[in-house]
Structure 1
């Protein structure tokens, strides 16, 4: 069965289908998908009609998504997610060919097990660009570093940087890996990186009038005061939270991550120590993926990049080394090793499906419902909404959108810079959105993002009325028993308040 690469890819695609049924899609995916739809409808890479703005973090994925929308129309999401899962599987197959060049059985188990792990499921099946990114990462490793194809050193750095600008971290690590393996500077690799970086920055400057994606600038402005705790202890908790699978800020999460790193270090030690079975090239590649993973986790945690999807692929690469050690070193008979590994992997797989179901259930009954309620008013882009986040609701309502981070409209960031305390009410007065959606608290309540000056309270109350409340407790209470139990352990979601302009 594992002799046939096509069949192996099909198996991994089938494995991921249950994830799609959970209806869990990362919110920011809808931002990229709306940018792609805007490109089709208006011929402009933007979010609101003919306004140019780099609201998506990835240019290449926007183009791929636009292609899928042209082919499948409004039913593009499932085909796109399946395509992403297939790309991830192909990338894992290339990696397996490096790690197990002569053992087809181990290669097949490696691909199946890796694609079942939680970070692999989220990276390839929740709608973000990380399926294609993993594909491109491993394409560079396989065709460039492993097979020494000169064209790979030129092509894949360009595609990587057009997918995400932060892939420069990966390119830097693997440039050093290539240097260690070949004992000489790869000038073609340098040229590929320079062409990729210069082309995407030059495109941003010419098309959007900015050097980096606006999302970076907007988050820097909006999240300036988001995290009040800047202690080293809190950084370590964040580092462990995003590096591992346990989603809780605590000393126990930190200790669990340290234990995982000790296990990882032991695996790396055994790999390096082996002098007979593992090629020097393979050792360098494995060490490089670990260095990349830990470097990205540490850098992004330090700079307070508090979004879980940034860390999906680093987690995948850490599991790559663990899985390689299990299949290559563990002194157990295959008849014992494979079932035990499968059982552990299946438990993690089931854990991720359940976690995705808890999120998907909530999204279907809250933000998707909000979008449906607004659509009942027969809205279009001539009307507007101010909300956070700018994902599901703007995508399905097609309203002109102002988001509270300023990802899709720079003028929100202008208001934040002018008045960081009352930017929200100032934005309401300036833009006069037809709809307003607030999270957790109503406008004017203490300790909320929606501070209102006393002199503006009467005007707001006269202009807007609260039309519906979407309490998260009601969703939790009406959930199936297993989800209700999970929500009690780890409550997710907040209340939403929908306001409409009084005409």
Structure 2
């Protein structure tokens, strides 16, 4: 079929969609983990070492490739000015990925523009643009592999894209493994190029980790494995029943009672998928296999991470988009797509975008005007950046304080992992670490520090409370609308800052 697309119109529409979505930048909603990656990138610039605390090598970020991208952006734009250019870069890559995906399904200019608009403003797609993490780039790589490899059968894509994908996130082995299996089933033959790409991806990441860090997998994975408790099967099932249904929907509600609505949306999406596959099965087989694989990936990835009780939102952003796509496709593939698009705008687009706007405004306010200011306060009172602070999480506060950090999970410093807190318990593990590391500051959720439960009680004599930070002091505004949003969804928790006494030995 001849390409009848008006690419100029699509390009202009995409620019306008990016500009419209850029309004979310003003919420200053940036994920803590992005700041970890950016600090690792800064560490490379300042020390020439892939690490977090000076010259100590540690794979503190979950993504190697995005760290190197962060190095480029910080080098070009400077430490204080790189964030928004990087967010725009993420958004552009995400939008290109959505455009490529739209072209696989439609040969109509209007439908592709609407597809870009609808997908771009799904809550996870908004977060992939504004939260500063690597998922906009990852979605771009995923769709590039599907477009040029899975559909157009170009061997270079099967070899190159898996390397880029696995270097972006190591948990993308799920996507690559499922695509390999699915492709064999569909093609009824072995995909040698994809196998070579997968092997090169695994070997290159393992060799880099081994020769640079002396480890096979990233420290972030090792530390979570070692310092998070391992629930029983019954506990996993209980958590999955409570949290899991939320992650099969397009939004994650804070109260489990709303899981019912996400389940209904998921069932509707399955029905839409069945209808589309029946419609496309013979004449438009490529469309059918692409949407079937994406939906299959969304279901399997959600089940795998859900049963592992991995409830970090970002694990599910791309799967959530994949699970919702059949609903958008059924709207746009209809002969009455204009009427259905208006209905979609009213009943889904506006509510979903509004929900994410409220979430981002509240969360961005709490993180930027609360957590960031705690970091700036520490920066102002402690000129010696060689001193350590013991806290959780290792995001906003360490980034803006510029202090060296030990976090409660061991993501950015391996000494906590050495204390084996799962085996010894936090009371003993934290006590041992504090006695050995002697951090100058401890930032805690409780008063007294660690609820007075540390195994070594003498530590309490070594530290004094110097500052209290209360979330209620910032969860308010003179603007009545913002005040309602902040109170509806307060973001943050109380913090208590303890300082090591100068007389402590």
Q: TM (normalized to structure 1)? A: 0.93
- For residues 171-208 of structure 1, the C-alpha deviation after alignment (integer angstroms, 9 at most, x for no partner) is 12222333344332210011001100111012111111
Q: 1:240, 1:253 within 8 Å by CA — same for their partners in 2?
A: no
The answer for the alignment partner of 1:494 in structure 2 is 493
Paired residue secondary structure (1:409)? coil
Match of 1:340 among 343, 359, 367: 343
Q: 1:402, 1:408 within 8 Å by CA — same for their partners in 2?
A: yes
The answer for the alignment partner of 1:84 in structure 2 is 90
Q: Does 1:425 align with 2:428?
A: no
Task: Give the direction of change, closer, same or farther, for the CA distance of 1:188–1:196 in structure 2 (3 Å limit).
Answer: same
The answer for the alignment partner of 1:258 in structure 2 is 263
Q: Does 1:303 align with 2:308?
A: yes
Q: 2:27, 2:360 within 8 Å by CA — same for their partners in 1?
A: yes
Shift of 1:491: 4.5
- For residues 306-334 of structure 1, the C-alpha deviation after alignment (integer angstroms, 9 at most, x for no partner) is 211111111111222211111113x6362
Shift of 1:346: 2.8
Q: TM (normalized to structure 2)? A: 0.92
The answer for the alignment partner of 2:166 in structure 1 is 161
Task: Give the direction of change, closer, same or farther, for the CA distance of 1:481–1:415 in structure 2 (3 Å limit).
Answer: farther
Q: 2:248, 2:266 within 8 Å by CA — same for their partners in 1?
A: no
The answer for the alignment partner of 1:247 in structure 2 is 253
Paired residue secondary structure (2:464)? strand
Cα separation, 2, equivalents of 1:274 and 1:324: 12
The answer for the alignment partner of 2:204 in structure 1 is 199
Cα separation, 1, equivalents of 2:312 and 2:330: 30
Cα separation, 2, equivalents of 1:393 and 1:12: 33
Match of 2:454 among 443, 452, 455: 452
Q: 2:165, 2:172 within 8 Å by CA — same for their partners in 1?
A: yes
Task: Give the direction of change, closer, same or farther, for the CA distance of 1:229–1:388 in structure 2 (3 Å limit).
Answer: farther
Cα separation, 2, equivalents of 1:192 and 1:178: 14
Q: Does 1:287 align with 2:292?
A: yes
Paired residue secondary structure (2:468)? strand
Shift of 1:228: 11
Q: 1:15, 1:116 within 8 Å by CA — same for their partners in 2?
A: no
Task: Give the direction of change, closer, same or farther, for the CA distance of 1:247–1:228 in structure 2 (3 Å limit).
Answer: farther
Task: Give the direction of change, closer, same or farther, for the CA distance of 1:196–1:225 in structure 2 (3 Å limit).
Answer: closer
Shift of 1:488: 4.7
Aligned counterparts, 1:46-57, within 5 A? 46-57=51-62
- For residues 314-368 of structure 1, the C-alpha deviation after alignment (integer angstroms, 9 at most, x for no partner) is 1111222211111113x6362x223222333133112212210100111123211
Task: Give the direction of change, closer, same or farther, for the CA distance of 1:57–1:227 in structure 2 (3 Å limit).
Answer: farther
Cα separation, 2, equivalents of 1:318 and 1:81: 25
Runs (5+) with no aligned partner, structure 2: none
Cα separation, 2, equivalents of 1:275 and 1:493: 48
Paired residue secondary structure (1:298)? helix
- For residues 460-488 of structure 1, the C-alpha deviation after alignment (integer angstroms, 9 at most, x for no partner) is 33x22211111112222457433443455
Q: 1:379, 1:399 within 8 Å by CA — same for their partners in 2?
A: no
Paired residue secondary structure (2:420)? helix
Paired residue secondary structure (1:422)? helix
Q: 1:237, 1:253 within 8 Å by CA — same for their partners in 2?
A: no
Paired residue secondary structure (1:445)? helix
Aligned counterparts, 1:353-364, within 5 A? 353-364=357-368
The answer for the alignment partner of 1:373 in structure 2 is 377
Q: Does 1:68 align with 2:70?
A: no
Match of 1:117 among 119, 122, 125: 122
Match of 1:186 among 191, 197, 214: 191
Cα separation, 2, equivalents of 1:83 and 1:54: 24
Cα separation, 1, equivalents of 2:280 and 2:389: 63
- For residues 395-416 of structure 1, the C-alpha deviation after alignment (integer angstroms, 9 at most, x for no partner) is 1222111011100111111123
Paired residue secondary structure (2:52)? coil
Cα separation, 2, equivalents of 1:92 and 1:171: 19
Cα separation, 1, equivalents of 2:483 and 2:232: 30
- For residues 361-399 of structure 1, the C-alpha deviation after alignment (integer angstroms, 9 at most, x for no partner) is 111232111111111124343111111011112112221
Higher deviation after alignment, 8-17 or 381-390: 8-17
Higher deviation after alignment, 90-99 or 468-477: 468-477
Q: Give aligned pairs, total.
A: 492
Shift of 1:104: 1.6
Task: Give the direction of change, closer, same or farther, for the CA distance of 1:207–1:268 in structure 2 (3 Å limit).
Answer: same
- RMSD value over aligned CA atoms? 2.2
Cα separation, 2, equivalents of 1:390 and 1:275: 48
Higher deviation after alignment, 389-398 or 226-235: 226-235
Task: Give the direction of change, closer, same or farther, for the CA distance of 1:237–1:151 in structure 2 (3 Å limit).
Answer: same
Paired residue secondary structure (2:310)? coil
Aligned counterparts, 1:430-445, within 5 A? 430-445=436-451
